[in-house]
Amino acid sequence: MTPDLIYGLTGIAVFGIGLVGALCAQDRLRRVLALKLCSVGAGFLLVVGAWREPPATPDPVPHALVITGIVVMVSATAVALALIRRLQTLEATDER
Amino acid sequence: MSVELSPMILAIFLPLFGAIVAFLMPRMAALIGLGTLAMTTGAVIWLAHEVLVTGAVVLPLGGWGAPLGIDLRADGLSVAMLTLTSAVGFLVSIAALDSLKGADQVRQRQYFWPLWLLLLTGMNGVYLSTDIFNLYVMIEVIALAAVGLTVLSGSRAALQAGLEYMYASILGALLFLMGVGFVYLQLGRLDFAGLSGAAPTGALVAALALIFVGLALKTALFPLHFWLPAAHANATAPASALLSGLVVKAALYIVLRLAQYMPFPSENLLTLVGLMGAGAVIWGGVQALRAERLKLLVAWSTVAQIGLIFVAFARAGELGLTESWKAAALLILAHGIAKAAMFLAAGRIKDEIGHDVIRDLDRTPIRPTLAQFTFALAAISLIGLPPSLGFIGKWALMEGAMAAGYWHWVAVTMVGTLLSVAYFSRVFAGFLRFDRVRAPVGEHQGWALADAAPLTLALMAIGLGLLAAPLLSFLEIGYPFGVAP
């Protein structure tokens, strides 16, 4: 087992756990967190893919992709959380 | 380095700046929105003229050029999609002026315009990109704006649907991003020119499969359509028209584009795509038959129509792909125009009679006659009766399938057509049996200036069928792709 294989499999496992959570979880917040986990797994995989045996330097392009992915994910999470908050407020007023 | 004003730059940046200004000046949002839209439409017409005169246009941003920089490229297909977006968008905006005029809709009015302009930025960006990572960024811009439009009404049902849409969209984006990353790790390039001609190795096919599943989630291809009906049915009418007419087309366009640049991995996978499409045609049709509300019926019809577009894509197998994309493109254009018209008409009917329960459509003294007429015209194009654009698209689909001897796709199209006749007839029956409730003479017939925009769209959906030949030759400009210089 080379290090990149170990890290790669870890990335796939993290993505898989997130995917199961995103599809199966009932709680809204839990599903957002599961999707976050997915994104961590995906980013992990790409960073591992860019790794090169030491004297060589890693490929910077996948790193750039991952950074953009993180930025997109932050804004998407913010929107999802805002929607969840709004829904909870509406549900609270309905029940009253 | 020369600074040159290009219509492609304008088509992306005008709506972006318009969105920011409209957000900062909410009182003038409608004015800014319409102004920006008019200018963007002008830029698209300018671009269409350039493409007609010189063929495909390529613009290396900042003078860098691919693979280091990012190129924008416009050919017949891009310009057709841009024109669809501008034309439908403009008419939907005019309709939005009326349908968002209520005193309780101040917030909706304020947020509709920035979100819609942001959506336009993303869509124009998709149609001009030649780089798969750029595409990823643009579909994210689209997704965030589209979710915002879905929840515009602020109702609980809309918020729940919007949240489901958001989950599906995030997951689709992650799959797409992973696929893009893997493509890069395989080929070392992200631009279309670098992808063309790559040998379909197992790893590359897996990467493309990730991209495809991500796009299928975003365009709601059966069985990944679960989020669409609620999202499109619960949005306000102009937002529904934009979501159903335009937004799902962006991911569809990317599928067509990628298939043009990369050899499709295998016949079996293409058949699988066609089968998913066939599943959508049948499942969407059956659910539309069962829908109780008008807007939900229209939303399920979108699921069926998207399936039909994928059937058109797969209609003649791997070898036929060089022609099949044209049938798919025609159906995309036809559905974009007709579905926008239909959602706007359904919104008008709901506004006039106060509900959209299909069973009770014939129990109302008010007859929104012009909106009903618009709905029927749009249905004619969606069903595919001549001479509508929908007919031309279906004809192209079946012609190609017959020529290749793929009769099963012809059968699927026929079944889909019959189902669409059946579910739209449920609505027409409600429109036509107007003797159930007698109203006093001189009652308000429920047609207003607000019907003008949807009616124009519906007439376009019918009339463009007569212009099919020039439309097809326009689509072919710049195809097959040369390698970008």
CB B372 within 8 A of CB B345: yes
Burial of A95 (0-12, 13-18, 19+ CB in 10 A): exposed
pLDDT digits (tens, 9 = 90+) for B334-348: 999 999 999 999 999
Q: Which residue of B140, B148, B177 is in closest CB contact with A42?
A: B177
Cβ <8 Å between B160 and A87: yes
Phi, psi of B354 (to 5 degrees): 90, -5
B135 near A CB under 8 A: no
What is the reported pLDDT for B382?
A: 94
Euclidean distance between CA atoms B458 and B55, whole angstroms: 30
Q: What span, in angstroms and rounded, lies between the C-alpha atoms of B364 and B295?
A: 18
Query: Scanning every residue of chain B, which has its alpha carbon at the shortest distance from the alpha carbon of A26?
Result: B164
Let me know if A61 is exposed, middle or buried by CB neighbors in 10 A (0-12, 13-18, 19+): middle
Cα–Cα distance measured from residue B401 to residue B315, given in angstroms and rounded to the nearest whole number:
5
Nearest in space to B132 (alpha carbons), one of B72, B60, B180:
B180
A87 closest CB neighbour out of B163, B169, B180: B163
- DSSP letter for B72, please: E
* A46 interaction partners in chain B (CB closer than 8 Å): 178, 181, 185
Residue of A nearest to B152 (CA): A83
Contacts of B210 in chain A (CB under 8 A): none
For B396-431, what is each residue's pLDDT tens digit? 999 999 998 899 999 999 999 999 999 999 999 888
DSSP collapsed to 3 states, B244-309: HHHHHHHHHHHHHHHHHHCCCCCHHHHHHHHHHHHHHHHHHHHHHHHCCEHHHHHHHHHHHHHHHH
* Alpha carbon separation from B316 to B38, B327, B403 (Å, rounded): 40, 11, 8
CB–CB of B166/A83 below 8 Å? yes
- The pTM for the full model equals 0.92
Taking CB atoms and an 8 Å cutoff, what residues of chain A touch B154? 86
Calculate the CA dihedral of residues B454, B455, B460, B463 and round it to 10 degrees.
160
Q: Which residues pair with B73 in a beta bridge?
A: B58
Q: pLDDT band at B484, cuts 50/70/90? A: very low
Q: What is the pLDDT of residues A4-13, one digit of tens each?
A: 788 889 999 9
- SS3 of A12-41: the string is HHHHHHHHHHHHHCCCHHHHHHHHHHHHHH
What tokens does B264 get? 């499709």
Whether B171 sits inside 8 A of A90 (CB atoms) is no
Interface contact B166-A79, CB threshold 8 A: yes
CB contact A85 to B (< 8 Å): no
- A-B interface: how many C-beta pairs under 8 angstroms? 82
pLDDT bucket at B235, cuts 50 / 70 / 90 = very high
A42 at interface of B, judged by CB pairs closer than 8 A: yes
Q: What angle do CA B428, B224, B417 make, to 5 degrees?
A: 30
At B10 the pLDDT is 92
DSSP character at residue B484: P
The C-alpha of A46 sits at a distance from chain B's nearest C-alpha, in angstroms, of: 6
Residues 6+ apart with CB under 8 A from B99: B236, B237, B238, B344, B347, B348, B351, B450
**Model confidence at B304, in pLDDT bands (50, 70, 90)?**
very high
**Which of chain B's residues have a Cβ under 8 Å away from the Cβ of A45?**
178, 181
Mean pLDDT lowest among B43-52, B142-151, B310-319: B310-319
b/e code B110-138 from CB counts within 10 Å (16+ = b): bbbbbbbbbbbbbbbbbbbbbbbbbbbbb
Q: Give the position of tokens 């909706």.
A: B108
Q: Which residues in chain A are contacts of B170 at CB distance < 8 A?
A: 35, 39, 73, 76, 80
CA distance B246 to B244: 6
CB spacing of B174 vs A35 below 8 angstroms: yes
Nearest chain A Cα distance for residue B167, angstroms: 7
Stretch B256-263: mean pLDDT:
82
B206 touches chain A (CB under 8 A): no
- Please name each of the domains of chain A with its CATH number: 3-95 (1.10.287.3510)
Q: Which of residues 62-81 of A touch B (CB under 8 A)?
A: 62, 65-66, 68-69, 72-73, 75-76, 79-80
Residue B262 lies inside a defined structural domain of this protein: no
Measure CB to CB from residue B184 to each of A61, A80, A84 and give the nearest one. Answer: A61
Say whether residue A58 is in contact with chain B using an 8 A CB cutoff.
no
For the segment B441-459, the average pLDDT, to the nearest whole number, is 76
Q: Which residues in chain B are closer than 8 Å to A49, comparing Cβ atoms?
A: 181-182, 185
Domain of B344, in residue numbers: 268-485
- Determine contact: B177 vs chain A, CB below 8 A: yes
Predicted pLDDT of residue B446: 57
* Least-confidence region, from A77-86, B3-12, B284-293, B326-335: B3-12
Distance CA B142, CA B150 (A): 12
pLDDT (mean) for B245-261: 91
Quote the distance between the C-alpha of residue B171 and its chain's center.
20
Q: Do B156 and A72 touch (CB under 8 A)?
A: no
* pLDDT per position as a tens digit, B60-118: 887 777 677 788 999 999 999 999 999 999 999 999 988 888 778 888 888 999 999 99
Q: Do A80 and B163 touch (CB under 8 A)?
A: yes
Assess if residue B136 is contained within a domain.
Answer: no
What is the pLDDT at residue B483?
Answer: 39
What pLDDT, on the 0 to 100 scale, is given for residue B35?
94
Mean pLDDT score across all residues of chain A:
89
DSSP assignment letter at B483:
P
What would the two tokens of residue B435 be? Answer: 């003797």
Residue B27 lies in a domain: no
> Per-residue pLDDT for B203 more than 60?
yes
Of A42, A83, A90, the CB nearest to B162: A83
Which of A61, A66, A67, A93 should one mutate to test binding to chain B, selecting the residue with the greatest count of B CBs within 10 A? Answer: A61
Is the separation of the CB atoms in B114 and B19 below 8 Å?
yes
As to burial, measured by CB atoms within 10 angstroms (0-12 exposed, 13-18 middle, 19+ buried), residue A93 is exposed
> Is B430 a member of any domain?
yes
Which tokens hold the place of A74? 């932050």
Which of B133, B140, B159 lies closest to A65 in CB terms? B133
For residue B122, is it within any domain? no
CB-CB neighbors (< 8 A) of A29 in chain B: none
Comparing B196-205, B321-330, B436-445, B464-473, the range with the smallest average pLDDT is: B436-445
Instruction: Let me know if residue B484 belongs to a domain.
Output: yes
Would you state the structure tokens that stand for residue B230, as one six-digit string? 């609620």
Domain total in chain B = 1
Residue B443 pLDDT > 60, yes or no?
no
Taking an 8 Å cut-off on Cβ atoms, the answer to whether B177 and A84 are in contact is no
Is B279 among the domain residues? yes
Percent of chain B at pLDDT > 70 equals 94
Q: Are B153 and A18 in contact (CB under 8 A)?
A: no
What are B134-143's pLDDT values in tens digits? 999 999 999 9
Q: Do A90 and B159 touch (CB under 8 A)?
A: yes
The pLDDT of residue B288 is above 50: yes
- pLDDT confidence of residue B434: 62
B26 occurs within a structural domain: no
Burial of A53: CB neighbours in 10 Å, binned 0-12, 13-18, 19+: exposed
ipTM of the complex: 0.94
Q: Please check whether residue B23 touches A, CB under 8 A.
A: no
The Cα–Cα gap between B283 and B120 comes to 31
8 Å CB contact between A50 and A60: yes
